[in-house]
Amino acid sequence: MPCFLFRFSPILCLLTLLSLSTALSQNSWAQAEEFGGEVPPQESQCESPNVLLLLDRSGSMLDDDKWGQATQAITEVFVPYFDTLSFGLMTFPSFGACGVDEGTLAVPIGETDGVNLSDVYLASTPNDEALTPLSEAIRIGHAELEMIQRPERRGYLILLTDGIETCAPGALEDSAPIASAQRAADAGFKTYVIGFGSLVRRSTLREMARVGGTEQERLVSDQSQLTETLQAIIDSATTEVCDRLDNDCDGYVDEGIDCEPACNSYADECPCNNDLDCGAGETCENQVCAPPPCNRICDNGYICQGDNCVPGDELNEGPTPGGMTTGPSGNNNFTDPASPQVPEANGMNDNTIANSESSCEQTQPYSYFALLFCLILLIKPRFFKTGLESS
């Protein structure tokens, strides 16, 4: 009986029972999660994507106040997301007619605290000498994302331009930006492409979007259309996916989508990419979810396999003296059905029927009596003191 220590320390007795209660409670939650039941609430992990906006500041952006309209639309759409979106801004060219510097973002990705976009725009105002290095802008943007990217966080480029590639050699003015978008996509970063005004080459933008993984270019002609387009892109980029993370940072995980069941070695068979794809306590090894080492005790007739009690005859190698059977690992915790045995006194409820869907650990009936006993001990210590002295 776990409370035999009450003679010496009632506090120790109570702590022991509380620890037992906590362990049983945690086991129940793990069971519920494994078989699709309700799990205890926990703080969601916000993993919104990294989004880097590539803003064209070539001289033509001054025409028809495209620069003013673009910056106002960017402010209207992105500022409300500063607390939940890992946003960054790069203007190009960053120097001279075609230069694009690596590591000199106007707003570093995810560092929006205290940022005043009006000051950023003022420092990046276009000039007549600036051209349109689309290919180099995408290449540098891709490199910036790659430096900070984590496996569990998605990354996107948003290209906003009013023209065509004017910094690559003539023969490459179409193929160079397309190739840059392709390389970014190959690295896992999609590229959204927005053409502002009538000077763009739509066929090139369309191909950039296609190889960039976003299917279609977006064409806009004024601030209102640009605002709607940017908002639609953000909504798409922050859409929840089935990854057990809070992608849109609204406090909920994988809401509104039908997730496939998690991989585990008992319920289903499916390839895993990392430990997050597996059940509680499992690890992903060679795209297979491996169960944790068994540390439970099963009733007679069952063996603990992968934290579950399963019928022992599935693994039996043959009977041993006394009617006991031995599994491949030498386990003799189950009985040969042909030779019924009297259950060994082990403090367990050996009449409980276990199966492959039950937990290996059963609630101990005596724990409740022991808890009550300890509570009485704490409330009425004189009663036990008198009893001990008389003995």
Residues paired with 219 in a beta bridge: 195
Q: What 8-state DSSP symbol labels residue 107?
A: B
113-153 pLDDT, tens digit each: 999 999 999 999 999 999 999 999 999 999 999 999 877 77
CB 82 within 8 A of CB 112: yes
> CB-based contacts of 284: which residues, under 8 Å, 6+ apart?
263, 272, 273, 274, 275, 277, 278, 290
Task: For the chain, give the number of residues.
Answer: 391
What value does the mean pLDDT take over residues 150-162?
A: 90
pLDDT of residue 263: 47
**pTM higher than 0.85, yes or no?**
no
Other CB atoms within 10 Å distance of the CB of residue 296: 14
Other CB atoms within 10 Å distance of the CB of residue 210: 17
Cα within 13 Å of Cα(383), Cβ side: 9
pLDDT over 90 percentage in the chain: 41
Q: Before 177, cis peptide (omega within 30)?
A: no
Domains of the chain listed by start with CATH number: 50-237 (3.40.50.410), 260-292 (no CATH), 294-363 (no CATH)
pLDDT of residue 375: 66
Q: What 8-state DSSP symbol labels residue 31?
A: H
**Where are the alpha helices (H) located in the chain, listed in sequence order?**
10-34, 66-78, 117-123, 134-148, 175-186, 202-211, 223-237, 366-379, 381-390
CA distance 278 to 272: 7
pLDDT of residue 40: 38
Residues paired with 329 in a beta bridge: none
pLDDT of residue 337: 41
CA distance 210 to 237: 16
282-335 pLDDT, tens digit each: 777 777 777 665 655 666 666 776 556 777 654 444 443 333 434 444 444 444
CA distance 168 to 201: 15
Least confident range of 95-104, 127-136, 213-222? 95-104
Reduced to 3 states (helix: H, G, I; strand: E, B; else coil), residue 173 is: coil
Other CB atoms within 10 Å distance of the CB of residue 376: 14
Residues paired with 87 in a beta bridge: 51
Q: Using DSSP bridges, classify how beta strands 302-305 and 189-196 pair: parallel, antiparallel or unpaired.
A: unpaired
Residues paired with 95 in a beta bridge: 99
pLDDT beyond 90 at 102: no
CA distance 295 to 106: 55
pLDDT of residue 239: 77
CB 195 within 8 A of CB 229: no
Reduced to 3 states (helix: H, G, I; strand: E, B; else coil), residue 8 is: coil
Q: What 8-state DSSP symbol labels residue 323?
A: G
pLDDT of residue 199: 94
* Residue whose C-alpha is closest to residue 241's, from 265, 268, 276: 276
Cβ contacts of 222-228, under 8 Å, gap ≥ 24: 222/69, 223/69, 223/70, 223/72, 223/73, 226/69, 226/70, 226/73, 226/160, 226/194, 226/196, 227/73, 227/76, 227/77
Q: What are phi and psi for residue 40, nearest 5 degrees?
A: -65, 145
Which two tokens mark 130? 């600036």
Q: What mean pLDDT, rounded, does the chain reach?
A: 74
CA distance 293 to 267: 18
Least confident range of 68-72, 158-162, 191-195, 351-355? 351-355
* Residue whose C-alpha is closest to residue 153's, from 49, 44, 275, 45: 49
16-42 pLDDT, tens digit each: 556 555 544 444 444 444 444 333 344
pLDDT beyond 50 at 167: yes
What value does the mean pLDDT take over residues 369-388?
A: 60
Q: Which residue has the higher pLDDT, 68 or 307?
A: 68
pLDDT of residue 242: 74
Task: Tell me how far apart the 2 most distant CA atoms of the chain are, in Å.
Answer: 106
Cα within 13 Å of Cα(339), Cβ side: 11
pLDDT beyond 90 at 76: yes
